[in-house]
Amino acid sequence: MGVATVAVFSEADSNAMHVGLADESYCIGPALLKNSYLNMSAILTIAVASKAEAIHPGYGLLSENAKFASLCEQCGITFIGPSSDTISKMGDKNEARITMKNAGVPVIPGSEIIKDLPQAKFEALNIGYPVMLKARAGGGGRGIRIVRNESELELAFMSATAEARSAFGDGEVYMEKYLFPVKHIEVQVICDKHGNIVCLGERECSVQRKNQKIIEESPSSSITPKIRKAMNEAARKAAKSVNYEGVGTIEFLLDKDKNFYFMEMNTRLQVEHPVTEMVTGIDLVKWQIRAAAGLELDFNEENTPIRGHAIECRINAEDPMDGFRPSCGKISLLHFPGGPWVRFDTAVYQDYVVPPFYDSLIGKLIVHAKTREEAIRKMRAALCELVVEGIHTNTDLHLSILSDIEFFSGAYTTDFLTRKDFK
């Protein structure tokens, strides 16, 4: 794109690849996240001093932080993402739910904010057990309790509010019907500043461990063209209702009767965006930056068909044989798979030392083929070609999942990994 880049890094990341790739790089603090990558004043100082016009927040860290987006707005630096207002609206899970309901997007049957136990009892009877208590400021699975009957309600209500208060400083909870088993299906949208909203198909992300996605694929093999159309329509309504700008993802739950419900909106780029890029041919990050610069999208849904099937495996530095213990250290030997439509997104290199401070994701292996079956075969071959020595990775777990009949059938749900005992 010809855009000059400025990288920021922590003391632990001085040998990271992005530091060498960028035109300019600056250290913003010690390894601990709160002192470096979450240090808003340090990041803004670098942005101002280096005359950066925009900040790409990546995913995680400050990417969904309304305060950071607002500070960028105040300083006249473009935050590559939606407005701080949209972020805070979607960050309040209860408000997001109400906004979506009003916009005509199907939401899980549930209540407003619950004030006390009698109200909780009343709402639970209305909704019907099992129900789920959720923190309105929620995230990362905290402040969530599943309640199967009335006897469990009091304890769950008390502990959910207490946990939410200590984790988010806001103890307010609401209630939703607990749906089980479900599939996690999300729709990618991209919106420019000219009112164009384009849906770029869905991703199925039901292979999860502790709410963390491990394998994602696009398109989903379990929805019909009719459901897909309705889901895209709902996603478009959702984006429109908050005047969304940039790339965003609307997450839905699909129940066994093929009803889908709005779960939440991620107001940022997702880790799994490459599968969408593979099936649409759209470079999402490039268009995210262009849209933030005020350019108009030059594609629409009609001229962007979904082609073939793409799968992504998240390669984590962890040891599945030892309770998924994070693994760090020097990579002594590294070999990437290659060939047509095989992509490995990573920032590691031979002799790189994986630091112990950050997320264990070290790479994303993505393949694209004409059919799902061919994509699975291709992924198995690619995983076998991937060699990372010196640290543990979850490559073998991926191979086991890809050889599983249930995964192959496409009928797997979010409890898939909990039920199976992959070694």
Partner 1 sequence: MFTKDLFKKPKNELESSSKDKKAPAVCIPEELCISCPSCKKPHFKTDVNESSGICPSCGHYFKIGARARIDIIADKKSFIEHDKKLTSTNIIAFPEYDDKIDKAKKESKESEAVITGVCSISGYACAIFVMEPRFIMGSMGRIVGEKITRLFEFATKKGLPVVGYTVSGGARMQEGILSLLQMAKVSGAVKNHSDAGNLYVTVLTNPTTGGVTASFAMLGDIIIAEPNALIGFAGPRVIEQTMRQKLPQNFQKAEYLLETGFIDGIVDRREQKEYLRKVLKIHGGKV
Q: According to CB under 8 A, which residues from 294 to 323 bind partner 1?
A: 294-295
Q: According to CB under 8 A, which residues from 347 to 366 bind partner 1?
A: 349, 351
Smallest separation, CB 8 to partner 1 (Å): 15
Q: Which residue type is seen at 97?
A: R
Q: H or E element: which one contains 320?
A: none
Burial class (CB in 10 A: 0-12, 13-18, 19+), 103: middle
Of the pair 2, 225, the CB lying nearest partner 1 is at 2
Size of the site for partner 1 (CB under 8 A): 30
Cross-strand bridge partners of residue 335 = 387
Q: According to CB under 8 A, which residues from 88 to 117 bind partner 1?
A: none
Whole-angstrom CA distances from 316 to 10, 94, 313, 359 are: 21, 32, 9, 9
Q: Residues near 186 by Cβ (< 8 Å), separated by ≥ 6?
A: 202, 203, 205, 249, 250, 251, 252, 266, 270
Q: Does 146 bind partner 1 (CB under 8 A)?
A: no
Q: Does 283 bind partner 1 (CB under 8 A)?
A: no
Q: Does 54 bind partner 1 (CB under 8 A)?
A: yes
Asked if residue 320 lies in contact with residue 391, where contact means CB atoms within 8 angstroms, the answer is: no
Of 76-84, 120-128, 215-223, 383-391, the window that binds partner 1 (rule: CB under 8 A) is 76-84
Of the pair 48, 387, the CB lying nearest partner 1 is at 48
Question: Of the residues 145, 268, 314, 343, which is catalytic?
Answer: 268
Query: Would residue 372 show up in a list of annotated catalytic residues for this protein?
Result: no
Supply the DSSP symbol for 281.
Answer: -
Q: Residues near 139 by Cβ (< 8 Å), separated by ≥ 6?
A: 91, 168
Q: Does 75 bind partner 1 (CB under 8 A)?
A: yes
Smallest separation, CB 361 to partner 1 (Å): 20
Question: Distance between CA 364 and CA 385 in Å, rounded?
Answer: 14
Among 240, 290, 380, 420, binds partner 1 (CB under 8 A): 290
Give me the active site residues, please.
268
**Which residues are at the interface with partner 1 (CB under 8 A)?**
1-3, 15, 17, 19-21, 23, 25, 40-41, 47-48, 51, 53-54, 67, 71, 74-78, 290, 293-295, 349, 351
